[in-house]
Structure 1
Amino acid sequence: MTASLAMLLQSQLDPKLTAEGLLAQMRSDWPELDQSLLRLGEVPSEGDGTEDAGADDSPMQCLEYGDHLIALMPIPVQIGDDIAQICAHSRLWPDATPAPVDYAAHTIVTVMRFSDDGQEPNLVAQAALLSQVVASAIAVSDSNVAVYFGSANHVVLPGLFRELTQASLPEPMPIAWVAINVGQNPQGVMTGHTRGMDMLGLMDIEIPATADTAEGVFSRLTGIVDYLIENGMVISDGDTLGATDEERIRVVYGPSALDPERQVMRLQSEEIAPTKPAKSWWARLLN
């Protein structure tokens, strides 16, 4: 069982954000969903691998879609992360919009699949369902001040997130799911990395050093993210990617430079030694 998770940061817990209200909003927002599979769900009991929420007075709200459980857990405190710093580094958070540092609560939104059919879950489709749930929850409650993807460590304005889901789905929306970070290291060398691919069942990408411009690094990372989301983990350890006649890029699986406990795809530049021009027939005779 693999869960897809996001958080709604809120000015306060909103009693309007109920399973019943969310169910009605989802049916209105997403008519393409199989309505016969979308229904109210039961709060899971302890020991089934979900939140500790077996008591009758649990605040958890639950829906089901087919063999997926959709759970909302409201918590009347902040998440503890530095939201101002996260907003400053999130490309979907406008610079002119102040970070909501005074938010008072958050709701954890989780989508997970329960099935014993032995098949690997489609985590991209599961992320899409999670996004539909979050977008509808934004419409139900006006207390939401940010959408936070912990796996990517970035935030999105609620209104912008809802617009993105309505404009993008059912196509994947990596711009909201995956953070792409580009910058210079202390030595002035350009680097880049992604965060959030693990929620999609894929490996994050890191470029430890490159002579490319910031725009080039961003374009390369964006292209690989899109390719992996469409095709799966088809880039193997040791593969080479096309670059120029003088340079090639080798893919190396290994520990992240930012978090050694995580495995990532590192893109390492390798120079290609120039081939010596062949001697002419008369030069070979003379030598």
Structure 2
Amino acid sequence: MSNSLLALVLLDTPATPDMAALAKALRARHPELATEVAEHGDAQQAQANSSLIRCGNELVAVMSMPAPIPDDLGLWSRASTTWPQAKAAAARHRGHLIVSVLGQNQRPLPAARLTTAVIGALIATVPECCAVVWNGKVARSADLWLDMSSRSFAPYPDYPSSLWVDILPFRSKTGIGAVTMGLSAFAEREIEFETHKLTLPTLVNKVDGLAVYLVEHGLVVKDGDTFGRDSRERFQRGRQRGYWLEDESILPPYRVFRLPASTAPARFVFDKSAGSSPIDLEPYYGWWLISGRTKAVLEWLDPEAFVFVQCTVRVPHGSYDGPDYWLCDVVRVLDALDEAQSRLTIRTEDDPRSLKFGKKVYLTMLGSKLRLQSAKRISFVWLIARLTSYAIKT
């Protein structure tokens, strides 16, 4: 389990979970997950005192330890900023459970989803549970875990990433900032964001949105990528990005992943002295920043599938004479999956808060396989090739 995410479920008094009851609770909470109690012989690497549960093609170990975890003052101080009873829970616990997906080189997000689902079922069946410590970095209450773990397999961005990643605000010389704790398990590093203009709730909302994006996609931020309006309000890796939105208040908040067509024109600043200019298609927060010729390709491909918001561009000196740019949102998705040749869970979204309410959704986890329908796969590859060739020409 050395390469796996590790979760510790704190117990007021030592207890050994009933694995049959745990499997029953998992099936009730997540009917799409095939669950059964596994024999120890199914995994030679499991220790003799491990209890195993099989979830789909994966094995999860649940080990009962009749002792408290080592004290970590920093962990519980961080937790107490949002959970006032955190230090008391840490002080009174007398045992804990270790929960982890077995196997080497597990992909972080599917392993986190599965581990979270198992922990939720543990809390539902073991009344002694009082807290959860995620990967040694984030501590949350058992009640919060019981509630949020029900969304373990929800589609992006609705899964419970805040159980895995903490966001810590701080004061800096230029204003305020926030840094993540726990994101490195998914994206290889933590991120830090500083601002002198945003309010603290807006700042935390931005960092949360970027964090969950990196949890989903991994380390996709390249050298030179910058998020924010200027050098004092940034998430930066390497050299800076030379363009930014002047007024971000025109955009919907993070986790509201629809861009209304009625959005006011987006005012951008392009400054080559600050960094690189955008290419024909750039991820920009939850959407795309695209050039006029990329817009033409997308409209030719499927004119009803996208929403476009025009951008105005100014430069620090003189007048802008480059291509037109647009913010773009995808509002219709082509169901191109060959379900017969794929291995995954298919269900109907029943959460009325979701944008996909009442629609078919695909749930992937460890061992899933996706295959596109052949004709649509060719169209997809052609589109990517066209967009890539445009980017190379820029």
Q: TM-score, normalised by structure 1?
A: 0.71
Higher relative contact order (CA 8 A, sep 6+): 1
Could you tell me which of 118, 132, 138 is aligned with 1:154? 138
2:298 is aligned to: none
Kindly indicate whether residue 165 of structure 2 is the aligned counterpart of residue 181 of structure 1.
Answer: no
C-alpha distance in structure 2 between counterparts of 1:88 and 1:206, whole Å: 20
Kindly indicate whether residue 212 of structure 2 is the aligned counterpart of residue 211 of structure 1.
Answer: no
2:30 is aligned to: 30
From the superposition, tell whether residues 14 and 247 of structure 1 become closer, same or farther in structure 2 (CA, over 3 Å). closer
C-alpha distance in structure 1 between counterparts of 2:72 and 2:216, whole Å: 33
From the superposition, tell whether residues 136 and 92 of structure 1 become closer, same or farther in structure 2 (CA, over 3 Å). farther
C-alpha distance in structure 2 between counterparts of 1:162 and 1:233, whole Å: 29
Helix, strand or coil: the match of 1:4?
Answer: coil
- Alpha carbons 2:75, 2:139 under 8 Å: kept: yes
Q: What is the Cα deviation at residue 96 of structure 1?
A: 5.8
Q: What is the Cα deviation at residue 199 of structure 1?
A: 3.1
Matches within 5 A, 1:115-264: 121-151=106-136, 153-167=137-151, 169-171=153-155, 172-184=159-171, 189-207=175-193, 209-212=194-197, 213-243=199-229, 249=234, 251-252=236-237
Q: Deviations over 1:162-192 (max 9, x none)?
A: 111225642321111110101125x685232
Q: Deviations over 1:84-121 (max 9, x none)?
A: x534422785326762112111111111346xxxxx74
Kindly indicate whether residue 52 of structure 2 is the aligned counterpart of residue 68 of structure 1.
Answer: no
From the superposition, tell whether residues 242 and 190 of structure 1 become closer, same or farther in structure 2 (CA, over 3 Å). closer
Q: Deviations over 1:217-254 (max 9, x none)?
A: 3122112112223333221122233525x86746226x
- Alpha carbons 1:42, 1:63 under 8 Å: kept: no
Helix, strand or coil: the match of 1:78?
Answer: coil
Q: What is the Cα deviation at residue 133 of structure 1?
A: 0.2
- Alpha carbons 1:127, 1:200 under 8 Å: kept: no
C-alpha distance in structure 2 between counterparts of 1:252 and 1:202, whole Å: 13
C-alpha distance in structure 2 between counterparts of 1:108 and 1:189, whole Å: 40
C-alpha distance in structure 2 between counterparts of 1:91 and 1:227, whole Å: 26
C-alpha distance in structure 2 between counterparts of 1:277 and 1:96, whole Å: 58
C-alpha distance in structure 2 between counterparts of 1:241 and 1:188, whole Å: 16
Q: Deviations over 1:132-178 (max 9, x none)?
A: 10000001111111111134x22222122111122564232111111
Which amino acid is the alignment partner of residue 113 of structure 2? A
From the superposition, tell whether residues 248 and 176 of structure 1 become closer, same or farther in structure 2 (CA, over 3 Å). closer
Alignment gaps of 5+ in structure 2 = 239-272, 276-314, 320-394
2:305 is aligned to: none
Kindly indicate whether residue 4 of structure 2 is the aligned counterpart of residue 19 of structure 1.
Answer: no
Helix, strand or coil: the match of 2:220?
Answer: coil
Alignment gaps of 5+ in structure 1 = 115-119, 254-270, 279-287
- Alpha carbons 1:181, 1:192 under 8 Å: kept: yes
From the superposition, tell whether residues 92 and 143 of structure 1 become closer, same or farther in structure 2 (CA, over 3 Å). farther
C-alpha distance in structure 2 between counterparts of 1:250 and 1:24, whole Å: 44
C-alpha distance in structure 1 between counterparts of 2:56 and 2:151, whole Å: 24
Q: Deviations over 1:15-51 (max 9, x none)?
A: 3x1322222221222111135xx44141644xx4x6x
From the superposition, tell whether residues 130 and 178 of structure 1 become closer, same or farther in structure 2 (CA, over 3 Å). same
C-alpha distance in structure 2 between counterparts of 1:89 and 1:62, whole Å: 32
Kindly indicate whether residue 88 of structure 2 is the aligned counterpart of residue 99 of structure 1.
Answer: yes
From the superposition, tell whether residues 4 and 181 of structure 1 become closer, same or farther in structure 2 (CA, over 3 Å). same
- Alpha carbons 2:4, 2:106 under 8 Å: kept: no
C-alpha distance in structure 2 between counterparts of 1:236 and 1:197, whole Å: 16
- Alpha carbons 1:156, 1:176 under 8 Å: kept: yes
Helix, strand or coil: the match of 2:219?
Answer: coil
Helix, strand or coil: the match of 2:40?
Answer: coil
Number of aligned residues:
240
Query: Could you tell me the percent identity over the aligned residues?
Result: 21
1:40 is aligned to: 38
- Alpha carbons 1:23, 1:40 under 8 Å: kept: no
Which amino acid is the alignment partner of residue 149 of structure 2? T
- Alpha carbons 2:80, 2:87 under 8 Å: kept: no
